[in-house]
Amino acid sequence: MKQLILASASPRRKELLTQVGIFADVVPSEVEEKITKTLPAEVVEELSRQKCLDVAGRMAEDCMVLGADTVVAAEGRILGKPGTLKRAEEMLQRLQGRTHQVYTGVTLAEVKAGRIVRAETFSSCTSVTVCPMTDEEIAEYARSGEPLDKAGAYGIQGVFAKFVEKIEGDYNNVVGLPVAAVYQRLRGWPS
């Protein structure tokens, strides 16, 4: 396989790729993200494509570029990164005791001689059911700092795991990258 460039500074995405034997160099996208879609699957596909094509357009050597974006959606509403304790608590209140969806959009692009010769975009959806949480549990988790920089105000691979009743779909998608789907697509591309 050609050199893979990850158009994301997310340490979780790099770890997921490494975990399955895919090694990538990181070149974060610098594109100003523009959302023109409203459905969560379309939003993450659009954002992953923007990130991927931004980085792929700057590559001079032959390589593959992977861009990704993840959102959490509750009742059709996208929940971004909360940034503040108050917003984190509000988001967690909305998720507790219910099922929500996590969408990750992925775009792969092949670069040859400084030109993008092929690109493919897809998305993956995983349903997550969160146990009922008390106000005290929500406040304590928010104060841990873990949810502040995560879509939907939680990280499934961290302390929040004790509140996850079940998932339907790809666990790695919730962490930030559906690595099995990525691997299956990459192995189908010529090297």
pTM of the model: 0.93
Distance CA 52, CA 150 (A): 21
Q: What are the DSSP E strand ranges found in the chain?
A: 4-6, 24-26, 63-74, 77-79, 99-112, 115-130, 164-168
In the chain, what are the domain boundaries?
A: 4-188
Q: State the catalytic residue, choosing from 25, 54, 62, 69.
A: 69
Could you tell me which CATH number the domain at 4-188 has? 3.90.950.10
Could you read off the pLDDT tens digit of each residue along the chain, which spans 191 residues?
689 999 998 899 999 999 999 999 999 999 998 999 989 999 999 999 999 999 999 999 999 999 999 999 999 899 989 999 999 999 999 999 999 999 999 999 999 999 999 999 999 999 999 999 999 999 999 999 999 989 899 999 999 999 999 999 999 999 999 999 999 999 887 65
Is 69 a residue of the active site? yes
Predicted local distance difference test score (pLDDT) of residue 163: 98
Predicted local distance difference test score (pLDDT) of residue 189: 79
